[in-house]
C-alpha cells in the first residue's frame, strides 16, 4: 500500500482511522462514518481504514499476545490500527519509526495515560515481528483476517477453494470500466486513455460484449476522459454481466423491464445503454434512489423511478406485466469484500438467514409480475450458497416443474479466483471479477 497523500498530520489521520475502525467493530457503517469527516480527511482515512480492516485479524491476535488484558476500546483501536499498519507487507505504508512516532503522538493527544503503553507494545512488536506474526497466523483469525463464522461458512460452501477465496479477499481490486456503447467503443476509449498516459487492457470475453476495460493503475473517476459527459462508468466485470444476461438475444424495442432493487443504478444504466426499454427502477430507499437519478442524468438516459419495496408489489405495481425483471437482491455482499473490507466485520452469522428470507420473499412476490415467455435474472454479490445456488433450487421447487425453468446461460456462482472465467491482467495473478451469483429463470409461455 502506498501511503495516502494528505495534508493532515499523520498523527491526526491515525486517530481518525482508529475512530473509524472502532466504529466498524461496533457495527456502524464505514460509509456513514466517513461521511461525517471533513473533506480533507476523508480520502486518507478511507485508505488507511481499508488497509487496517484487511489485516485487523492478525493485528488483533498480536495485540492479544502482547497485551492479554484488553485495553479500553479507544486505546485498543489505536493500538490494533498501528499494528495492522506495521504488518509485514511488500509495500508498507510508512517506515516503522514514523508510524510508531506518530501513533504515540496520537495517543498523547487523545489518551495521554496510554501513550507509554502503546509505545512499548509497538516497539516490542517491531523487535519480535517475525515471531509474533508467525504465531498470529497459527490462529484462523490471524491467518485469514475474517470472522471465524465466515471462515467456516466459506469452508463448507467451497471446500476446494476456501483458502484461495479468503486469501483473495485481502487483495486490492482492479478498477474496471464500462464503456457506454451509445457513445463509443472500447477500442476508441482505450486510445483516449493512452493519450493521457493511462495503460488499460480490454477484457475480451463474449459475456461482456467487448465493452469492458481494466486500468493498469486506478485513478479518481474525475480523471477519466469523458466521465462527466457519460462516456464511461466504473463497474466490476462480474456486475457487467447482468445486462447482457437479462437482454439475452434481445428484447423487443420498448419492452417493459423492472429493475427491482435498482440503487445505486449501475445495472439500470447498463441495460439502457444496450437497449431501448421502458424501464422501471425501483428501490425501497428514496435517498439511494436519488443516486440512480444522478447516474442516469450523467449518462443522459431515462427511466421511471419509483420508491417501493419489491416484496409488496400492491403498493407500486400498475398491474401490467413485465417482459423481464432484474432482481439484484439484498445480500451479505460477501463477494465484494476486497472492495469493502468493512463488510466482513459488520456482518453477523445470523444475518445470512435473515437476508436469505428477504430474497425468498422478493422472488415469490415478483415472479407473478412476469409475463409468460418472460425472464427473471436473480443476482447477488455473494459467495454464500444460501444466497445463490440453494436459494434458486428452493425457488424452482416452490414454483413447480415446468412453471419456472433455469436457463442454460445461467452462470451460477462466479468465484473471484485468477483462473475463473476472465483472464487475469498480465502479471497480476488476481481475478478481474468480484464474487457474484446469477440465475436466469424463464417463465414458459402458456
What are the catalytic residues?
381
The x, y and z cell numbers of residue 270, run together, are: 447498463
The 3-state DSSP class for residue 21 equals: helix
Rg (CA), the chain: 23
Helix ranges (H only) for 329-436 are 343-346, 351-366, 389-399
Alpha carbon distance 49, 56 (integer Å): 10
Alpha carbon distance 377, 245 (integer Å): 8
Alpha carbon distance 434, 339 (integer Å): 9
The 3-state DSSP class for residue 11 equals: helix
Alpha carbon distance 64, 71 (integer Å): 10
92: closest CA among 104, 84, 103?
84
Alpha carbon distance 154, 430 (integer Å): 19
Q: 29-57 as b/e, with b when 16 or more CB fall inside 10 Å?
A: ebeebbeebeeebeebbbbbbbbbbbbbb
Q: Which residue has the cell 428452493?
A: 394
The x, y and z cell numbers of residue 309, run together, are: 419495496
CA distances from 372 to 23, 245, 275, 366 (A): 48, 18, 21, 13
The DSSP bridge partners found for residue 132 are none
The 3-state DSSP class for residue 27 equals: coil
Q: Check: CB of residue 216 under 8 Å from CB of residue 201.
A: yes
Q: Check: CB of residue 144 under 8 Å from CB of residue 151.
A: yes
The x, y and z cell numbers of residue 443, run together, are: 417463465
Contacts of residue 306, Cβ cutoff 8 Å, sequence gap at least 6: 280, 281, 282, 316
Q: Check: CB of residue 3 under 8 Å from CB of residue 34.
A: no
Amino acid at each position: 500500500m502506498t501511503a495516502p497523500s494528505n495534508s493532515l498530520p499523520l498523527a491526526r489521520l491515525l486517530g481518525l482511522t482508529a475512530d473509524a475502525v472502532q466504529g466498524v467493530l461496533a457495527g456502524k457503517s464505514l460509509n456513514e462514518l466517513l461521511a461525517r469527516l471533513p473533506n480533507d480527511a476523508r480520502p486518507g482515512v478511507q485508505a488507511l481504514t481499508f488497509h487496517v480492516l484487511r489485516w485487523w485479524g492478525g493485528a488483533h491476535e498480536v495485540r492479544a499476545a502482547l497485551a492479554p488484558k484488553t485495553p479500553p476500546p479507544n486505546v485498543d483501536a489505536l493500538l490494533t490500527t498501528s499494528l495492522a499498519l506495521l504488518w509485514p507487507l511488500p509495500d508498507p505504508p510508512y517506515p516503522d519509526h514514523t508510524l510508531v512516532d506518530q501513533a504515540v503522538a496520537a495517543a498523547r493527544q487523545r489518551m495521554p495515560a496510554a501513550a507509554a503503553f502503546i509505545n512499548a507494545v509497538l516497539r516490542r512488536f517491531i523487535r519480535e515481528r517475525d515471531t509474533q506474526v508467525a504465531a498470529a497466523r497459527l490462529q484462523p483469525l490471524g491467518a485469514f483476517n475474517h470472522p471465524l463464522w465466515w471462515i467456516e461458512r466459506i469452508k463448507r460452501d467451497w471446500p476446494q477453494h476456501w483458502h484461495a477465496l479468503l486469501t483473495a479477499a485481502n487483495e486490492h481490486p482492479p478498477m474496471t470500466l464500462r464503456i457506454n456503447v451509445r457513445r463509443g467503443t472500447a477500442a476508441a476509449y482505450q486510445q483516449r486513455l493512452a493519450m493521457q498516459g493511462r495503460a488499460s487492457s480490454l477484457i475480451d470475453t463474449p459475456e461482456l460484449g467487448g465493452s469492458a476495460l481494466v486500468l493498469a493503475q486506478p485513478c479518481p473517476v474525475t480523471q477519466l476522459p469523458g466521465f462527466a459527459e457519460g462516456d464511461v462508468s466504473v463497474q466490476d466485470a462480474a456486475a457487467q454481466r447482468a445486462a447482457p444476461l437479462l437482454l439475452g438475444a434481445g428484447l423487443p424495442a420498448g419492452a417493459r423491464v423492472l429493475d427491482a432493487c435498482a440503487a445505486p443504478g449501475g445495472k439500470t444504466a447498463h441495460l439502457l445503454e444496450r437497449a431501448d426499454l421502458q424501464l422501471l427502477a425501483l428501490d425501497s430507499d428514496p435517498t439511494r434512489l436519488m443516486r440512480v437519478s444522478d447516474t442516469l442524468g450523467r449518462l443522459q438516459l431515462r427511466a421511471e423511478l419509483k420508491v417501493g419495496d419489491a416484496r409488496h408489489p400492491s403498493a407500486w405495481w400498475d398491474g401490467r406485466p413485465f417482459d423481464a425483471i432484474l432482481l439484484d437482491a439484498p445480500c451479505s455482499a460477501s463477494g465484494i469484500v476486497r472492495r469493502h473490507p468493512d463488510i466482513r466485520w459488520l456482518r453477523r452469522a445470523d444475518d445470512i438467514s435473515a437476508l436469505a428470507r428477504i430474497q425468498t420473499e422478493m422472488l415469490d412476490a415478483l415472479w407473478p409480475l412476469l409475463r409468460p415467455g418472460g425472464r427473471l435474472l436473480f443476482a447477488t454479490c455473494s459467495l454464500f450458497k444460501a444466497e445463490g445456488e440453494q436459494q434458486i433450487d428452493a425457488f424452482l421447487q416452490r414454483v413447480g416443474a415446468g412453471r419456472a425453468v433455469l436457463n442454460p446461460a445461467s452462470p451460477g456462482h462466479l468465484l473471484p479466483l485468477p483462473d475463473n472465467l476472465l483472464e487475469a491482467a498480465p502479471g497480476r495473478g488476481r481475478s478481474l471479477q468480484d464474487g457474484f451469483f446469477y440465475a436466469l429463470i424463464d417463465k414458459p409461455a402458456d
